[in-house]
A and B are shown apart, each in its own frame.
Chain A
Amino acid sequence: MATTPNAATPGELAAPSRSSLRRWLGADEIAHLVTLIAAAVLVLIAVLLVYQLWILSAEARAKFGWSFFITKVWDPVSGDFGALPFIYGTLVTSAVALCIAVPLGVGAAIFLAELAPPKLSSSLTFVSDLLAAVPSVIYGLLGVFLLVPLMRTTIQPALKKTLGFLPLFQGPAYGIGFLTAGIVLAIMIVPFVLSVSREVLLAVARDQREAALALGATKWESTWKVVVPAARIGIFGSVFLALARALGETMAVTMVIGNNPKVAASLFSPGYSIASVLANEFSEATGNLYLSALIELGLVLFLLTFVLNGLARLLILVTTARGSGVLPT
């Protein structure tokens, strides 16, 4: 939500002399203090969140050190915990999701920003916003009962027949697995790619398009060779934002990934993700080491999304700030 040009900037309006209203003396200071405390509570919560994750994962960090990240074994009974299968599963499903969602989302954003009449564009954006509001457990529900059977009977056999020479598409077709989870994730993150990309495309100055068209470029050439390159940093930002969503997504993935801590080259293989193992095992974790290993996984997830979100915001900020036309020449 952009600020309108005539909006007041805070602090610029100094309060008038209070001598005429003696009975309110100090009220401003109290209001200031109360709102400051509310804002500070949020910061406190964030600090506490990091602190808790760090302290509660201490036992696992001390016991396994860095080898936590390269160990494949996850055996609660004998107390061996390695995060590799979960990190692998999280990264693979997110990569599959990006491969599908980025072309789809950016393509749709180009249509909405460049081609569609404003009315159509805004109503389609509205629908896409609604899509982003659909709870993830609903995607999981459709995934379990619609997509998994479809994958098992139709899509996976077809992929095997045509692209089966690649190690990615080998092995038995269970229906569940990395590929299915990736597809569900893709549908979930498309709205994020779309809405942010559309915004950065719209921020590219009109002159740029007109100049390209005046030089005889077709509509597509002006879009692809002028507008998209001008907005590319912001588009990357939208991709990072979507990636951060995909990494942390829990329910839909848990319901279709197969929940089997495995590192396999085939996308048909069942796997596990960080968020899914937390969802499945956290409430049943017995023993401090088990719990602490799970919380360390939570910490990893937190740090990953933290870095990606920060990066995304920076990139989007750079493009929209530059958007009013001044391109580096």
Chain B
Amino acid sequence: MSIRLVWRKSLNVFMLSLTGLCALLTVSALFFILGYLVWNGGKDLSWSFFMHLPAPVGEAGGGMANAIVGSLKLLLLAALFGVPIGLLGGVYLAEFGGRTMPFVVRYTADLMNGVPSIVMGIFAYALVVMPMHHFSTLAGGIALAIMVIPTVLRNTESFLRDVPRALREGSFALGANKWRMIATVVLPAASRGILTGVLLALARVAGETAPLLFTAFGNRYWSPGWNQPTSSLPVVIYTYATGPYEDWHRQAWAAGLVLLGLVLITNILVRAFLTRGTAYERT
């Protein structure tokens, strides 16, 4: 073998193993993050963490019951406002639509997907907090809902498009008109994919902190109704992690573990559910 060939072959092996190392480093980051959170936060997870209100500032103990409920309420609002609009908009793109409007909607959805979440916070602040003159659960929910819409919309569209033509033609042949075809044939056929998109979008906004900082704000007590500032898991993690007390830091780890656990479990379950295949693929 010439020296050049030896050089080329060893470069080949070297560079290929380097790319393998890159892949290893990247994926190991997830396991490292998860392991570190379990190690640090696992021991502070207790009954009172889930059931109690935060202790007075500076005192040890207490829990995050209000933050967990607050996060759920915010997610509920996000789903309530965001999902129907995203879903119907997706149906419009895939089933109706003309020339210019679908292009504009699609482009807007992609643009909105890329807008930094903190800017969405400013928007919700201008839209809800400024007219109402106070922070509220409603404002936080709307901020999250605006982030849910584009994801659900694009996802719904792409899954509806994957429904084969034969199903639509069959439905027409049976005498259904277009909206019956959509409601009784196309939507059910794509329902699993659509549900996946909805759940993934909700899991994503569940971890958002930035849009909540000046919309839902924070609260050390229960937040009754929808009209008052509320605590939420991500914001509490942020406040506690940057706060001065040792006990806060421990609780931030525990809350981080809960949040990460919820987000990852949702993601894994939903993605596993999706890859099991959709009904129409078996035909």
Contacts and interface: CB of A to CB of B under 8 A. Distances in A.
A: contact size bracket: 35 or more
The secondary structure that dominates the B interface is helix
B117 A250 contact: yes
A21 interface: yes
Contact of A43 (B98, B104, B163, B177): B104
A212 interface: no
A41 B85 CA distance: 8
A56 B101 CA distance: 29
Contact of B153 (A42, A139, A251): A42
A145 interface: yes
Given A39-B89, A135-B207, A220 B11 contact: yes
B22 to A, nearest CB: 3
B117 to A, nearest CB: 7
Contacts, number: 314
Contact of A144 (B9, B146, B241): B241
A136 B200 CA distance: 16
Interface in A282-308: 282-283, 294-295, 298, 301-302, 305-306, 308
Contacts of A241: 114
Contact of A10 (B95, B209, B253): B95
B116 A39 contact: no
Interface string A119-149: 0000010111111011111111110111000
A11 B91 CA distance: 12
B19 A56 contact: no
A105 B110 CA distance: 23
Nearest to A8: B165
A305 B22 contact: no
B140 interface: no
A309 B110 contact: yes
B263 A107 contact: no
A1 B158 contact: yes
Contact of B12 (A105, A129, A218): A218
A221 B14 CA distance: 12
Contact of B214 (A15, A46, A103, A282): A282
Nearest to A112: B23
Contact of A111 (B23, B119, B237, B256): B23
Contacts of B8: 218, 221
Interface string B258-283: 01100110011001000000000000
B23 A107 contact: yes
Interface in A158-195: 187, 190-191, 194
Contacts of A145: 40, 241, 249, 253
Given A32-B96, A53-B123, A134-B260, A251 B210 contact: yes
A221 B12 CA distance: 7
B19 A110 contact: yes
A139 B32 CA distance: 12
A31 interface: yes
B118 A301 contact: yes
B49 to A, nearest CB: 16
B225 to A, nearest CB: 21
A247 interface: yes
A108 to B, nearest CB: 4
A4 B16 CA distance: 33
A160 B159 CA distance: 53
B20 A115 contact: yes
A294 B88 CA distance: 35
8 contacts: A10-B95, A42-B105, A43-B108, A133-B263, A139-B33, A220-B16, A224-B15, A251-B234
Interface of A: 1, 3-4, 6-8, 10-11, 13, 15-16, 18, 20-21, 24, 27-28, 30-32, 34-43, 45-46, 48-49, 52-53, 56, 103-108, 110-112, 114-116, 124, 126-131, 133-142, 144-146, 187, 190-191, 194, 218-221, 224, 241, 244, 247-251, 255, 275, 278-279, 282-283, 294-295, 298, 301-302, 305-306, 308-310, 313
Given A8-B168, A41-B89, A241-B114, 18 more contacts: A3-B162, A6-B166, A7-B162, A13-B169, A16-B177, A36-B96, A42-B85, A42-B86, A42-B105, A42-B150, A49-B119, A108-B25, A131-B26, A135-B206, A141-B237, A295-B122, A305-B116, A306-B115
